[in-house]
Structure 1
Amino acid sequence: MSNEFLPSPPYSYLSGKADIIDLSALEEQILADDQTYQTANEICGKIKSAILHSRAALEQPQSKSQSQKDLEELINLAIEEDEKYRAKGKLRVSKVSFTFGDYVRFKAYVHFLQTGKLILQSSLPSAITDEEYLSGIILLNHDLARYSIGRATDRDVKSVILARTLIASILEHLMQYDFRNGHLRRKYDGVKYALKQCETVLYELSVTGCDVGSNDNEPNAKKPRLDDDTLPKDELESLRLRMVRRDDLRESLIKKCRDGQKAAKQAIYSLHREDFKSAEKQIDICEKCILDQLKPIVDEEPQLRYGSFANVLEEYAEAKLFYHWLAGDGSSIDKAKPKGDVIMPQDFNTVQLEPDDYLGGLCDLTGEIGRFAVKRGTSRDVDGVKLSLDTNSSIHYALKSLAKLPGGGLNKKLDPLRRSVEKLERMLYELSLVQATGRNIVAGIEESKEE
């Protein structure tokens, strides 16, 4: 068929700049982390099953089930894999942390059945964190409430009182904590309901003729005097003080993060005003804040790596990426012509970034480039708009080409990035109309300015 009857190839928006966005090294790291996550999931699934079977053997001795020795072997395996992962500077996989909490819960339940008391944290593997231990003993109260109903069915008042006493002791200790909005806070709210359930069971036993002791024959009766040996008070007090220290570090980090994030935002505003000297100073202020004020806190308490600190790193990445896109290394700045350079994660020598930090900053960079393109489009700078479109298309292509994105909110940023690319394509089309017809208004640009 003659070529005159065939459609032309698609318009080429990319001019070869896509080749500079090479995320293959980052992709390898993401996939390696994902493999670790999958391995952790498999081990945690086996631990969950082992806990279930061990509990069944505990409650139904005649059932054939795997021994608690199998459970301990799986826990040791999980700890070994976790240590390998953390040796790379990573934090514990959240699935592992929740599984360790379930393990503490089961061990604490077994310890209660053997002694009537709360398990010592020091008797558990040292890899168990304070939060995991607290999570386990908080969830233990639900087991104790269920246990009290079972024993009440057999009219075993003594065991119900022991369960109620331990729950009351745990609740009294937990009331000293200032739990923030998080998984521990949500779990803690259920402890008082477990206590109420035990007290209700005792009341119901009392009205059927059981002797439940003085002041215990009503649901809202005064709590009994707690046995000094019920809780390991010295260990729990040490744990509480460590949690207080972490809360203080968290509050300090949040306050100091505001300064770092503010400096990064101001750097971006300065870059839009083409005030490169101020932007350099503000980026430097942000770097010093991260290294001198924030990083020491995160090094002391690695769990604070995510949240406010990660937000600062992402904002810092965005500012530095935008600076280099406009000015390159800063040696020869041409305000009329941006360099168009997109630096890679390894180019962040001063502050080391995780894949999430860099990719989050890279996605946000496209928004700043879009705003830059609107400004250049208003001035009828076709080359500036083309460079902006070229960069955003390259970034969009690179991100879509990744086999997997790290967890977090990165997937939510892909749709705005796609719309940004389409908007710039429309803008370039409108500019072509301006050149062809001499129009003074570019619709795409006016719409972008209003947004």
Structure 2
Amino acid sequence: MDRREGEGCPRRNADAAQDRDVNSSSPVIAAFKVFQQELDTKHDKHERLVKISRDVTIESKRTIFLLHRVTSVSNTDDILKEADVKLDAVRQKIGQIAEELRGEDLFQFHRAFTPGIQEYVEAVTFLHYIRHRSLISLEEINAMLVFTRGEQEELKGSVEAPQTGGPVLTFQVTPSDYLLGVADLTGELMRLCISSVGNGDIDTPFQVSQFLRQIHDGFSYIGNTGPYEVSKKLHTLRQSLGKVEDACYALRVRGSEIPKHMLADVFSSRTTHLEPEEGVV
């Protein structure tokens, strides 16, 4: 048995060497090598986008945690300024995504960076609501994601002096990512209500309740015609709205007889359990 293996190995090696000589000049193999290089390039780009998206997600979450402190301080300007700085750093990360997508089809790599973009939209809309008590539009968000020539050089890591000029790089948040970010915003607004009541602020829950009702009405116009992820998050939005409205009802009816230090407990315990097929009327 060992002798046969010893005799067969040289012949197999010779055949393999002959196949390599033939294959190297084959146009089919040459074409597949090109395909391999293209796939490797796209895979590497996908992995870089995933890593950048994770950084965007982490920094956006930290900004949201920072913004929740506005209910416990008397002067919110410092917190809002710090949030602006953090979001500007996130914006530079999104600029790196735009640089990676230059000349590429956005939707080929959309799944790689959509979690980070949704988290960024959530942070931006949360900051805008705290500052203006309104919802920032998709056009306003996209207007902030326009990068000048000097910023482009920074994104590339160039040590040369930044050049001045008009916008050369843009990133456009898709409508679905915007809607998903706004849907996640409703959960943060519900937490904002709990924190506000805990600090004796009774007006904020009613303001948030009206705002969430407007968002819910807007999502109702979309219904089942929008992306699947949007309709999936509509149930969570309804739950957030239901909890806030139910707690506001308790504050309105029993607020005068409950001590202020216990209002937050009452607020957080008043939860509404809605079935997926049920709406908030």
What TM-score, normalized by structure 1, do the two folds share? 0.44
Find out whether 1:290 has 2:94 as its counterpart.
Answer: yes
Offset at residue 429 of structure 1 (A): 1.7
Identify the residue that residue 138 of structure 2 maps to in structure 1.
345
Identify the residue that residue 365 of structure 1 maps to in structure 2.
185
Find out whether 1:381 has 2:201 as its counterpart.
Answer: yes
Identify the residue that residue 49 of structure 1 maps to in structure 2.
none
| Aligned mate of 1:324, from 124, 128, 142 | 128
- Mapped to 1, the partners of 2:110 and 2:223 lie a distance apart of 24
Gaps of 5+ in 1: 1-222, 329-339
| Aligned mate of 2:45, from 244, 249, 252 | 249
Give a deviation string over 1:162-184, Cα, whole Å, max 9, x none: xxxxxxxxxxxxxxxxxxxxxxx
Identify the residue that residue 246 of structure 2 maps to in structure 1.
426
Letter aligned with residue 192 of structure 2: F
Offset at residue 427 of structure 1 (A): 0.8
CA contact (8 A) 1:355 1:406 kept: no
What is the correspondence of 1:206-355 to structure 2 with a 5 Å cutoff? 228=23, 232-274=28-70, 275-291=79-95, 293-302=96-105, 303-328=107-132, 340-348=133-141, 349-351=143-145, 352-355=172-175
Give a deviation string over 1:137-172, Cα, whole Å, max 9, x none: xxxxxxxxxxxxxxxxxxxxxxxxxxxxxxxxxxxx
Letter aligned with residue 130 of structure 2: L
What is the correspondence of 1:114-133 to structure 2 with a 5 Å cutoff? none
Identify the residue that residue 77 of structure 1 maps to in structure 2.
none
CA contact (8 A) 1:261 1:316 kept: yes
- Mapped to 1, the partners of 2:130 and 2:215 lie a distance apart of 16
CA contact (8 A) 2:53 2:114 kept: no
SS at match of 2:117: helix
Identify the residue that residue 237 of structure 2 maps to in structure 1.
417
Offset at residue 374 of structure 1 (A): 0.7
Offset at residue 446 of structure 1 (A): 3.5
| Range with greater deviation from structure 2 (279-288 or 254-263) | 254-263
Letter aligned with residue 284 of structure 1: D
How many residues matched?
A: 217
- Mapped to 1, the partners of 2:268 and 2:256 lie a distance apart of 19
Offset at residue 425 of structure 1 (A): 1.2
Give a deviation string over 1:90-140, Cα, whole Å, max 9, x none: xxxxxxxxxxxxxxxxxxxxxxxxxxxxxxxxxxxxxxxxxxxxxxxxxxx
- Mapped to 2, the partners of 1:267 and 1:409 lie a distance apart of 24
Identify the residue that residue 447 of structure 1 maps to in structure 2.
269
Offset at residue 404 of structure 1 (A): 4.8
CA contact (8 A) 2:128 2:135 kept: yes
CA contact (8 A) 1:393 1:421 kept: yes
Offset at residue 435 of structure 1 (A): 3.0
User: Which one has the bigger helix percentage?
Assistant: 2
Letter aligned with residue 447 of structure 1: S
- Mapped to 1, the partners of 2:182 and 2:225 lie a distance apart of 13
CA contact (8 A) 2:49 2:100 kept: yes
CA contact (8 A) 1:325 1:341 kept: yes
Offset at residue 341 of structure 1 (A): 1.0
CA contact (8 A) 1:257 1:309 kept: yes
Identify the residue that residue 162 of structure 1 maps to in structure 2.
none
Find out whether 1:392 has 2:217 as its counterpart.
Answer: no
Q: CA 1:445–1:311 in structure 2 vs 1: closer, same or farther (change >3 Å)? A: same
Offset at residue 436 of structure 1 (A): 3.6
- Mapped to 2, the partners of 1:407 and 1:430 lie a distance apart of 35
CA contact (8 A) 2:117 2:173 kept: yes
Offset at residue 300 of structure 1 (A): 4.1
What is the correspondence of 1:38-117 to structure 2 with a 5 Å cutoff? none
Letter aligned with residue 298 of structure 1: L
Q: CA 1:396–1:230 in structure 2 vs 1: closer, same or farther (change >3 Å)? A: same
Letter aligned with residue 144 of structure 2: T
- Mapped to 2, the partners of 1:404 and 1:350 lie a distance apart of 30
CA contact (8 A) 1:250 1:304 kept: no
What TM-score, normalized by structure 2, do the two folds share? 0.69
- Mapped to 1, the partners of 2:57 and 2:83 lie a distance apart of 13
Q: CA 1:448–1:313 in structure 2 vs 1: closer, same or farther (change >3 Å)? A: farther
Letter aligned with residue 248 of structure 1: D
- Mapped to 1, the partners of 2:226 and 2:39 lie a distance apart of 29
Letter aligned with residue 102 of structure 2: D
- Mapped to 2, the partners of 1:251 and 1:448 lie a distance apart of 43
CA contact (8 A) 1:376 1:382 kept: yes
CA contact (8 A) 1:266 1:279 kept: no
Q: CA 1:360–1:412 in structure 2 vs 1: closer, same or farther (change >3 Å)? A: same
Offset at residue 409 of structure 1 (A): 1.4
Letter aligned with residue 319 of structure 1: A
% of aligned pairs identical? 24
CA contact (8 A) 1:246 1:301 kept: no
Q: CA 1:394–1:432 in structure 2 vs 1: closer, same or farther (change >3 Å)? A: same
Give a deviation string over 1:377-429, Cα, whole Å, max 9, x none: 22342210001111111101110122554324111111111111111111112
Offset at residue 311 of structure 1 (A): 1.5
Offset at residue 231 of structure 1 (A): 6.6
- Mapped to 2, the partners of 1:256 and 1:312 lie a distance apart of 8
